[in-house]
Structure 1
Amino acid sequence: MPAVPLGLPQRALIDRRDMEAGVDWKANEWRPIAFFKVPQGTMYRIPDGEPVRLYIKARATAADMDNSGGSSAQDVTINVPGIVKTKMREVPLPSANHPEVVAWATVNGTRQKVPVQAIDYTAETVTLSVPAGESWTEITAYYVHGDGEFRIRAQRELGNADTAAALLMDGSFGAIHTVSQIDDEEAPTWPRKVTLMESNRLVLEVRTGIRIDWNDEAEHLFQIEAYVLQVKVQDKAAMRRLAEIEWRGGL
């Protein structure tokens, strides 16, 4: 056997916190912006029909606002092209913890999360408020949008910077961001059984005209239910070949 199990499979969640940033976004080109690399000595299995939660936010910025000498708060408006209203729970505004839009600024020299005051889905704008006595720079909003497409692929490294990859799931942001991802009838599910061996990668790729950055500030939601098994690898090359054959449906 290519690998010997060292116990029983355990439930696992592949989450955005498990993923590493990939390459930088480029407008309207497929870009692998994030990936999950299977740790050494483990094997992950994603059964078909498992729930998938995927909200990938776009990035927009506003000009700096110096209100350090002001006597009242000053509004900042950020243009957020393609913003969509999701079916996530509604949160009263102002809020620094809105599920669809999060905002950050460097406030008097310190990077911090700031409250969203208003969201206008028709005008595609987000409003923030700079209190009197504060100076904000690097003002950034991350928001759920409906522009472009995504795909999730499995990837096997071949050496010399070469890889073999297989498409596992794809769709449009407009579709996946506007369905209820917790409703049994609407929620997206994983399309087929996939096994990922050690050092394999699960790669998130996007193609959109709106900038996407993979960082902690954005608070992207990426969750895939899986099982993880500790294994002792006896034939690494054979194990990886078997995984790739499965990705490709036995071909």
Structure 2
Amino acid sequence: MPQSSLLPRAGVSKRSKITSRAYPSVQSVMTRTEVAELREKVEEMKKRLREVSRINTKAGISRLWDKIEKRPDGDYYLGRKVIGRDTGINKGVYIGNGAREAIVVDRKYGAIDRLFEKAKQRATVNGVVDESRVPQAVFDTVKEAMPIQSREEVQKIIDEKKVGQEGKIALDIFIDRGVGVCRHDSLACAAVLEVFKEKGMIHGTPHVERNIDERGGHGWCTLELNGEKIVLDIPNNLLKKLKETTEEEWTY
């Protein structure tokens, strides 16, 4: 007599099959737990980076307190809004937590828009800007524009222009000379990304971040895009989602 299809076949428990569908294995539960823990760590890292960047900006403001003008929309230095982690970039000025040049970012001088056009060309596919290509396009364009990463060469420009400590100097001068260090790279990346955002070509927000540790100060750009935070750190040759970075390659 043929075996009924309602009965389990020999060696197979119908009960065990139902149980395996209804309840995830211990291994899958552990995997989900690990994912949840990883997400918590990423969020904590984001929070720490935001706070550190704000603290370092505040350090610069405190150091120049007698020259800072308080306005309803933020802090101003020599007539320009101080660039911080959560401010706009264009028309602002970037001051350090230590004495150095005050970098002015202003599209009216031309260099930022020239970089934007080059990056847009790189990110364009079939006549349309591909949002997913924009971070790489900006990274490559800025890296190409300032190939000389040298503190000594930066200082030569500052001395030549007789800027002195805390004096204003346009970011364009460094871009046109092809010279910069992390602060110039991060400002250029953020400024170009801001143009993409203003033109509706990306739906993300760029930030200028910074930190200081035993190695000294360091600055980089981040872009919040489609729920992900992307790090653009040219001196460290790093373009990657924050959650995918490892301590071996990036410790800021």
Tell me whether the two structures share a fold, i.e. TM-score over 0.5. no
More helix by share: 2
Q: Under a length normalisation based on structure 2, what TM-score does the superposition of the two structures give?
A: 0.22
